[in-house]
Homo-oligomer: A and B are copies of this chain.
Amino acid sequence: MMQSPQSYIQANARKFEQDVCELLSIPSVSTDPTYRPEIDRAARWVASRLESAGLRAELIATGGHPLVYAESPQVQGAPCALVYGHYDVQPADPLELWISPPFEPAVRDGNLYARGASDDKGQFLTHVFSAEAWLATEGRLPLNLKYLIEGEEEIGSPSLRAFLQDQSRRLACDCVVISDGAQFGPGQPAITYGLRGIAYFDLLLRGPSRDLHSGTFGGAVTNPANVLARMLAALVDEKGRIQVPGFYDDVQPLSPEERQALASLPFDEQQYFQQIGVDGAVGEEGYTVLERRWARPTCDVNGLWGGYQGAGAKTVLPAEAGAKFSFRLVPHQDPARIATALRDMLQAMCPPGIRMELLTQHNSPAVLVSLESPYVQAAARAIEAVFGRKVVYTREGGSIPIVVDFYQRLRADTLLIGWGLDDDNAHSPNEKLSLADFHRAIRTSARLWQELGTLKPQQH
């Protein structure tokens, strides 16, 4: 009896769950060196599972934790998708808050509980199982697949970055598929097509060589804490407009279509404010909350310090004061150009008696995938076919540095399709993944290969 990929997935549902549980049982905590043997075990497990799915897999040693790389049997004339995921997990503590032990997967109320269930073992494996379904039933995939599964995502992907730089030719692809996030809501799948960039700065202002008495010296010495406040206040006006010269030069207005699409998302601003414990907010004038979060640049002070921070009063004129602040960037803004304009602006504000140090900590441009991209449209078709519901298009306010690296090194559109939910407790006790979503995701992934396989490959 001839099976289809979808019927294979149906038939192997329990097997796939058992497989996920096997990997979830390995405590592959990347940040703690004592777990290094478990990291290696997990990497070997993933490579072996890719092999048993019918792919050619290898372990790639790095300066850190091994990468798992795999390729599907070549399909001439078909496009190529690169699946990215990570087999490492966050630490599980505080252990006492887990209902069942973090590395003993348990099912409750249709959810699979374990560290890594949602982030990311349970998500990336859906793309392995779906490939197996094709290979086991059709004997071939409708496209070329590459898998790059790393073990350092939770510690900043240092080895993967170096690998991307060296091996961008080997990794050449038409699109990158990443399932390491959440749906817009339960049963409401989303494609995330935009990530903001970031330019993060560390500002230190040095004044007098030591803390001075603010009575004896105040008025006659430039106070670095006062100057710091003035500089930070000058970065952005009370209408949320950033004042760094030229900051908006490369910002393109949101299209009426995109604004319309964002406005149509089921999003309740009052409920949102309630969840974060505020009665409202000021933000950039003329934009909705979702636009401000996803599609407009920001300036946030992330930290500031100086002088006396204890209880009561100390009449000190501090020797120094400092702050960390960052701009979230939207497409086409150049972090380096902004850093230069910022430095010039602050230097011009720096008064006699203050020495200024400005350090760039992070620097990453925004990523935006066109909604016209055939890969995005193929993904939408696959999702809608399986979920039976229109996909929504979302952006993310944060940055995912590795996506920027993919974009810059591979020049490939990235499909961010999260199978999880916002309340999956990634990074917290009792991490979970809905089993219904897990199975639906495997079916969607199998359909995604089919949809992507109909597209014309770019030259690689």
Q: Give A residues with C-beta under 8 Å from B.
A: 196, 198, 200, 202, 207-210, 212-223, 225-226, 228-234, 236, 238, 240, 272-273, 276-284, 289-290, 292-293, 296-309, 312-318, 321, 323-324, 326, 328, 351-353, 361-362, 396-399
A307 CA / B402 CA spacing, docked (Å): 26
Q: A314-B302, A361-B313 are in contact. Are A226 and B219 (CB under 8 A)?
A: no
A219 touches B304 (CB 8 A): no
Query: What distance in Å separates the Cβ of A280 from its nearest Cβ neighbour in chain B?
Result: 4
Listed A/B pairs (12) with beta-carbon separation below 8 Å: A198-B215, A202-B313, A214-B298, A218-B326, A219-B297, A221-B281, A222-B282, A222-B283, A279-B353, A302-B315, A305-B309, A313-B362
Selected contact of A292 from candidates B196, B208, B219, CB within 8 Å: B219
Q: Which residues from B are CB-within-8-Å of A289?
A: 220
Extra A-B contacts (19), CB below 8 Å, given A214-B302, A233-B233, A301-B306: A209-B278, A214-B328, A216-B397, A218-B293, A220-B293, A221-B281, A222-B283, A225-B323, A226-B232, A226-B300, A230-B232, A230-B238, A279-B352, A282-B353, A300-B317, A301-B318, A304-B309, A305-B306, A315-B326
A16 CA / B273 CA spacing, docked (Å): 74
Q: A213-B398, A293-B216, A396-B215 are in contact. Are A281 and B314 (CB under 8 A)?
A: no
Q: Which residues from B are CB-within-8-Å of A218?
A: 293, 298, 300, 326, 328, 397
A158 CA / B431 CA spacing, docked (Å): 56
A317 CA / B300 CA spacing, docked (Å): 7
A352 touches B303 (CB 8 A): no
Q: Choose among A232, A290, A351 the residue with the greatest number of B CB atoms under 10 Å from its CB.
A: A232
Q: Which residues from B are CB-within-8-Å of A208?
A: 276-278
Query: What distance in Å separates the Cβ of A403 from its nearest Cβ neighbour in chain B?
Result: 13
A314 CA / B306 CA spacing, docked (Å): 18
A303 touches B315 (CB 8 A): no
Closest 5 CB pairs of A and B: A215-B398, A209-B277, A303-B307, A229-B232, A280-B352
Query: What distance in Å separates the Cβ of A183 from its nearest Cβ neighbour in chain B?
Result: 16
Q: Choose among A200, A234, A240, A282 the residue with the greatest number of B CB atoms under 10 Å from its CB.
A: A282
A226 CA / B303 CA spacing, docked (Å): 10
Selected contact of A219 from candidates B240, B312, B316, CB within 8 Å: B240
Selected contact of A313 from candidates B226, B240, B324, CB within 8 Å: B324
A318 touches B302 (CB 8 A): yes
Query: What distance in Å separates the Cβ of A49 from its nearest Cβ neighbour in chain B?
Result: 32
Q: Which residues from B are CB-within-8-Å of A276?
A: 208-210, 212, 217, 221
A292 touches B220 (CB 8 A): yes
A219 touches B328 (CB 8 A): yes
Q: Which residues from B are CB-within-8-Å of A281?
A: 220-222, 351-353
Q: Which residues from B are CB-within-8-Å of A326?
A: 214, 218, 313, 315
Q: Choose among A220, A293, A301 the residue with the greatest number of B CB atoms under 10 Å from its CB.
A: A220
A326 CA / B396 CA spacing, docked (Å): 42
Query: What distance in Å separates the Cβ of A363 from its nearest Cβ neighbour in chain B?
Result: 11
Q: Choose among A238, A301, A324 the residue with the greatest number of B CB atoms under 10 Å from its CB.
A: A301
A215 touches B328 (CB 8 A): yes
Q: Which residues from B are CB-within-8-Å of A196?
A: 215
B302 touches A303 (CB 8 A): no
A200 touches B352 (CB 8 A): no
A277 CA / B320 CA spacing, docked (Å): 12
Q: A221-B276, A307-B304 are in contact. Are A216 and B315 (CB under 8 A)?
A: no
Query: What distance in Å separates the Cβ of A347 from its nearest Cβ neighbour in chain B?
Result: 15
B304 touches A225 (CB 8 A): yes
Q: Which residues from B are CB-within-8-Å of A210?
A: 276-277
Q: Which residues from B are CB-within-8-Å of A212?
A: 276
Query: What distance in Å separates the Cβ of A212 from its nearest Cβ neighbour in chain B?
Result: 6
B303 touches A225 (CB 8 A): yes
A284 touches B219 (CB 8 A): yes
Q: Which residues from B are CB-within-8-Å of A302?
A: 214, 225, 307-308, 313-318
Q: Which residues from B are CB-within-8-Å of A293?
A: 216-220
A277 CA / B231 CA spacing, docked (Å): 22
